[in-house]
Structure 1
């Protein structure tokens, strides 16, 4: 498996020289400065590749090439947006990119309510609190119908939190929810979020699926011609939020996506943490079912709570058996190697990490500290080495 590390370029507080010391060989990045829907110029892609190459890194996975919200809504004449997207694909392929990670989450990317929840022995983690999310929906942006999306106990807890919260607490909650958009240009206050949600009013799960299929039909043939592989990132959290349908949340959703436009280029970014936040998901079983379509992997872990809350644990803790999961990926690599495939190795990255030591002072992107991710990478490297040794001995 290829050891990757997500890097935000000029926006990142962690330098390439520091990343080199973690042992990672692959940088996973994107042109975060380009507004959604515009073409990624080949010259800028080449400059990024050259910068990474000079620092002894390989760049074969883009995370991500964002999809404009109009495409997700199926709104208006989309021909130019699709043309721009395909041109960006062509420019990426010309510079050696092999995999494009993307998501089809409407309006918001990954969503958390707390960016620095304390952990038992020091440090902090990302957390999703169902009561706090319900408080945001019900009492801050005043989406009254949200009461139907939560249990009575969660609604009661949301009301209690809101009534004792300060304006600073409420601002921090909204800021946390917005933090999952590192490359986006839109950030919303309460009124702005309320208005943005209106654009999705009346869009059902089936509507979103239809718009998604159109996207696949527009880009996957081009990916085949260019030698690119697409890996959709699961919803995070894997449930409807803010009244917005989520359609990449479980095994059935993934099966629908792969069948919507059958192609080796239409595949999955296996995100263990995103899928692991759904109590119905057995992540190693999902990996085993769709192993042949996994083009990229995010490895992290979460601990779930009965009310729908969850928080990010250390990589070897949490509810997912990481040893079992990694063994599935290694078995798939062996299968691909036996077929002589050039894409036998799967790039992975330690996805997120606890904020440890002086990570907090660095001001890195939430979830992307230096020390916490380096710990995660070391733990995952240990699993891979041990499983590989056992396989060789057998």
Structure 2
């Protein structure tokens, strides 16, 4: 697999020379400074690519080229936004960057309630606590209908947490939830979030799928012509949040996405942590089912709890059989090489790591520490190398 590293460009305090020392050869990044919906100019892309190349690294995947919220809502005349998206793809392709990860999650990207939950072996990790999320929805946001979205005992604990919480506790919870938008320009306070949610009134799962289908129909043919591979990132967590529908949460959702516009350019980012938070998802089985359309892999693990809570686990621990998942990807790479495919190598990056050792002294984006991800990359590299050995492939 092509080992890569997510880097936030001018917003990242991890330097490219440090990334080079991890052993990763590829960079996954975006022009986070460009507002959503605007064109990424060829000049800006070339400058970022040159900066990466100067460190001896390659820009191997865009993460992400954001889909504007108006497209997700199907709001008004979208021709200009679709044209801008296609132009950004064309400019990326002209500079040799042909892999584009994106998501179709309404309003909020990945959602966590704790950014520094204590990990069992020391350090800290990201956590989604069902009771605190319910407290946020019910008691801070005032979304009474959210009571139906949580088990009764979670609703009780949510009320207890809120009653005992301080203003600082509630501010920290809001900040954690908003931190799922590391490259976004908008941050919401409670009133701002309520107002933003009203824009999605009337947009249920069926409507969102219709808007998603339109997006794919508008951009996938252009991607085909450009030699670009689009790959959707699954919902994180894979469940409805804040009353907003999510439509890339399980195997059947993925089958719909890949089938609604049938094309190699319409692919999947296999995020084992996002999909792994759904108890119904079998990650190795999903990888094998959609193997030929996987263009990018985010490898991380989660430990789930019966009430819907989960937290980031070490990469080789947690609930997903990471060895079998990597085996599925290695097998797919071997099949692609045998078929003579130019895209035989799957781009992989270690996803959310624990904050370990000196990571706590650096102001890293949540989930993206240096040492914690380095540990994950080293573990995943060892698994992949072992499974790629001639004797292993013959078994």
**Which residue of the partner structure matches residue 220 of structure 2?**
220
Distance in 2 (CA, whole Å) between partners of 1:253 and 1:21 is 38
Helix, strand or coil: the match of 1:358? Answer: helix
**Which residue of the partner structure matches residue 291 of structure 1?**
291
**Which residue of the partner structure matches residue 131 of structure 1?**
131
Q: Report the CA distance between 1:323 and its aligned residue.
A: 0.3
**Which residue of the partner structure matches residue 155 of structure 1?**
155
Q: Report the CA distance between 1:392 and its aligned residue.
A: 5.5
Q: Does 1:40 align with 2:40?
A: yes
Distance in 2 (CA, whole Å) between partners of 1:96 and 1:80 is 24
**Which residue of the partner structure matches residue 90 of structure 1?**
90
**Which residue of the partner structure matches residue 198 of structure 2?**
198
Q: Report the CA distance between 1:361 and its aligned residue.
A: 1.5
> For 1:1-394, what aligned pairs fall within 5 Å after superposition?
1-389=1-389, 390-391=391-392
Ranges in structure 1 where 5+ consecutive residues have no aligned partner: none
Q: Deviation per CA, 1:52-98, whole angstroms, max 9, x where unpaired? A: 11111011210000000000000000000000000000000001112
Distance in 1 (CA, whole Å) between partners of 2:293 and 2:121 is 38
Distance in 1 (CA, whole Å) between partners of 2:239 and 2:57 is 36
Q: 1:378 to 1:226 in 2, by over 3 A?
A: same
Helix, strand or coil: the match of 2:60? Answer: strand
Distance in 2 (CA, whole Å) between partners of 1:194 and 1:43 is 38
Q: Deviation per CA, 1:180-203, whole angstroms, max 9, x where unpaired? A: 101111000111111110000111
Distance in 2 (CA, whole Å) between partners of 1:289 and 1:217 is 23
Q: Report the CA distance between 1:120 and its aligned residue.
A: 1.5
Q: Report the CA distance between 1:247 and its aligned residue.
A: 0.2
Distance in 2 (CA, whole Å) between partners of 1:65 and 1:391 is 37
Helix, strand or coil: the match of 2:27? Answer: strand
Distance in 1 (CA, whole Å) between partners of 2:394 and 2:216 is 43
Distance in 1 (CA, whole Å) between partners of 2:328 and 2:170 is 42
TM-score by length of 2: 0.99
Distance in 2 (CA, whole Å) between partners of 1:98 and 1:137 is 39
Helix, strand or coil: the match of 1:61? Answer: strand
Helix, strand or coil: the match of 2:28? Answer: strand
Q: Report the CA distance between 1:393 and its aligned residue.
A: 6.3
Distance in 2 (CA, whole Å) between partners of 1:212 and 1:247 is 9
Runs of 4+ in structure 1 off by over 3 angstroms are none
Distance in 2 (CA, whole Å) between partners of 1:121 and 1:230 is 37
RMSD across aligned C-alpha pairs, in angstroms? 0.7
Q: Deviation per CA, 1:255-279, whole angstroms, max 9, x where unpaired? A: 0001110001001000000000000
Helix, strand or coil: the match of 2:375? Answer: helix
Q: Deviation per CA, 1:298-338, whole angstroms, max 9, x where unpaired? A: 00000000000000000000000000000000000000000
Distance in 1 (CA, whole Å) between partners of 2:225 and 2:219 is 10
Q: Report the CA distance between 1:122 and its aligned residue.
A: 1.2
- Number of residue pairs matched by the alignment: 394
Distance in 2 (CA, whole Å) between partners of 1:243 and 1:22 is 40
Helix, strand or coil: the match of 2:3? Answer: strand
Helix, strand or coil: the match of 1:244? Answer: coil
Q: Deviation per CA, 1:38-63, whole angstroms, max 9, x where unpaired? A: 00010000001111111110112100
Distance in 1 (CA, whole Å) between partners of 2:110 and 2:209 is 19
Ranges in structure 2 where 5+ consecutive residues have no aligned partner: none
Helix, strand or coil: the match of 2:357? Answer: coil
Distance in 1 (CA, whole Å) between partners of 2:373 and 2:319 is 19
Distance in 1 (CA, whole Å) between partners of 2:201 and 2:131 is 24
Q: Deviation per CA, 1:107-157, whole angstroms, max 9, x where unpaired? A: 000000000000122100000001000000000010011001111111001
Q: Deviation per CA, 1:143-179, whole angstroms, max 9, x where unpaired? A: 0110011111110010010011101000000000000
Helix, strand or coil: the match of 1:267? Answer: strand
Distance in 2 (CA, whole Å) between partners of 1:393 and 1:162 is 56
